[in-house]
Amino acid sequence: MTTEFTEDMEFIKERYELARERIRMIASGSEGALSPKYDAFFTAAAGYMLQIAEAYEFVEKGGMDRATMEELTAFNHSLYAPIMPKAYETSYANPDYAHAQFGKQFDRILCVLYSEIPAMIPYAFQQDLDPMTIRMELLLQCYGIFRSAWQEDQILPDPEEIRSVLYYFVFDYSEDSIRSIIKSQVHPEGNFAVNLLKNADLTDLRYLFSYGLYVTEDEIRSARYLNALPEEIVRSMGYTLAEGYITGFAVCGKDISIKKTGEVLYWLGFERMFRYTLERLSQIGMEVTARRSPASLLDGRVVSPGGYASTSPNKQFDFDHYEDMALLLDKKLANHRNECLKSAFEAYRQDAKLHGGPLVLDIFGEEDFEPQQKEAACRFNESQQELYVSYRAKRAEITMTYIVGSERSFTIVAYPLPGIGKDYDAIFQETLKINTMDSAHYSKIQQHIVDTLDQADYVRVKGQNGNLTDLVIKLQEKPDPEKDTCFENCVADVNIPVGEVFTSPELEGTRGTLFVSHVFLNGLEYFDLKITFEDGCITDYICSNFPEEAENRKYIEDHILFHHKTLPMGEFAIGTNTTAFAMMERFGIGAKMPILIAEKTGPHFAVGDTCYVHDEDNVSYNPDGKRIFARENSFSKKRKEDPEKAYFNCHTDITIPYGELGEIVAVKADGSELPIIRNGRFVVPGTEELNIPLDEMQNS
């Protein structure tokens, strides 16, 4: 340890202790320095911070080794109690409650300030004082301004003065925060989660509380379940993920030997599986990195996880705060944060060049969540939406400059959580089988579908049984039909399980209506989702989640369009995994399935970028030797001249289940028709086997 590092740590420790003592005084409630409702706010906020500071000291003094599972569970839940559903109605983190207490003058400011406190909890358990200290100092600075105004003139401060404190908190600490995130993503040494994956005693389930994330029965039972599985099964699970990653490089003609790290994104409780993923990657000379899913104003907020994660203590809290940056976002801050991102990548330039991309575990079976729209929550205005789109596009461009898109890959697999219900064990075992289905066998069956589709000028898709889908998907013209194909014959490499065939449509000429009665997308539920396309781009949209049309449109704008005025149809695919569909129907879990599996169980349409985003210029081939031609569209063709207009930095798959599917027909240039699916059954010669699980399900 260098002298400079030691001095920095001593300085941070000194700042922390000073802040903690001042926080302790405010938490005591003895100062009475403000009007009652603001005194109550700062007393509660200081008390919450003090509780987290005590957690830091508990860990520092070895409390994790002495406490029982029951004690750690109670302790963990007490730390998240102020934002959990039971307390949320009267929590300052609830925009409605904050508005009732403070009105429009301070509701959003103080709600956002309070909501930054839970972000301290993981840092307390990881013994990282710096991010705890800066949040304590933030509260103290705001308190000082309120106190001065009240003591001098018995008035409240200018809200803009408090908003400015929050603004410069984010502005000033963006560089350190973003650098820490990038380090976790690409630099393998000293990584907290990776060290735990490698070294923790996974038979002692108390390890789950070491992260400082919220821990439920889902995490505990998942870990217990994996511990009870035979070693060869868990090894197969971990190795399957690693092999998918390795195969993904090979299939796309990329050299994995030049990569030294891959990032693991996992769910707490699945560490035993990922220990084998690490083992398999180490055999080819690769290490792993891991970063925590962002959950703060400073680091970014997400509705669905973007790193290693656990069950949310309250999804309504996540939904209420996903656009807290609206309180602050302007061009100056957006540009500064992107400059900080570039600076962070420069600091880890070599690590980024050696980074190969993510290995992802998706989960399903969480409790259903129907969000409430709250008028008092922070939401981007129209100009901020445009700025945010540009900001995200620039971030993606910077990232792809350092983690070169044409050299990276990924892989993803999904497993259920115990919360899926009484059939958890059976569903888990079925998922295991689905995730290890024979890729080579499915590839041969799917080739019949590809060969048929390659004869088409366009594809017609229609729903049935109340499904209003009526689409025409124009296919790109192949330069050489003997050597080129529009559709990728996709089995189990980057996307586990098998199987689908997919293409990037020709946008011009693609039109019609996409409808699905019930679906989960990006962790959120939609009812009667209806999207209209013209020339391949969204022109209209609606769902029936909320009473008011404006609320439904806003919901889609925020979580499917991601603030873009429109999105293109980036992908058209036909899923072929009827075995997975039959499992979903048998257990009645179709609405809970992650898109990773759901997209394999019917035709799906992705809005946003193509599947070949940042990888258009690579050449890849189907097993029959044909070059996969349709890798770009009229937007992504702009990538070299105007990257911000070429990419949308989102890709959301929307699947029509077989039961709602009337037909998929390939229509040739002369108007003749080649049916692919009719009345929910495959009719291409050579695909009869795909109907067996559907027929067995119907006859059972």
* DSSP class per residue in 308-322: BB---S-HHHHHHHT
The helix/strand/coil state of 501 is strand
Cα(first)–Cα(last) distance of the chain, in Å?
67
- Tokens standing for 676? 């692919």
Directed axis angle between helix 424-435 and helix 217-228, to 10°? 60
**Residues of the chain predicted below pLDDT 70:** 1-7, 32, 700
C-alpha 114/C-alpha 129 separation (Å) is: 19
C-alpha 675/C-alpha 537 separation (Å) is: 25
Helix ranges (H only) for 522-667 are 549-559, 578-587, 595-598, 643-646
Task: Supply the pLDDT for residue 111.
Answer: 98
Region of 523 (left: φ > 0; alpha: ψ -120 to 50; beta: rest) is left
Task: Supply the pLDDT for residue 6.
Answer: 56
What does the angle CA 479 – CA 484 – CA 490 come to, to the nearest 5 degrees? 140
C-alpha 4/C-alpha 7 separation (Å) is: 5
C-alpha 296/C-alpha 120 separation (Å) is: 9
Residue closest to 539 by CA, chosen among 510, 503, 559, 519: 510
C-alpha 126/C-alpha 131 separation (Å) is: 11
Buried/exposed 98-115: b ≥16 CB within 10 Å, e otherwise? bbebbeeebbbbbbbbbb
Task: Supply the pLDDT for residue 135.
Answer: 98
DSSP, res 406: G
- What's the alpha-carbon Rg for the chain, to the nearest Å? 26
- Tokens standing for 689? 């086997």
User: Taken in order 353, 356, 358, 359, is the CA torsion positive or negative?
Assistant: negative
**What Cα–Cα distance (Å) separates residue 277 from each residue in 68, 245, 283, 413?**
30, 10, 10, 12
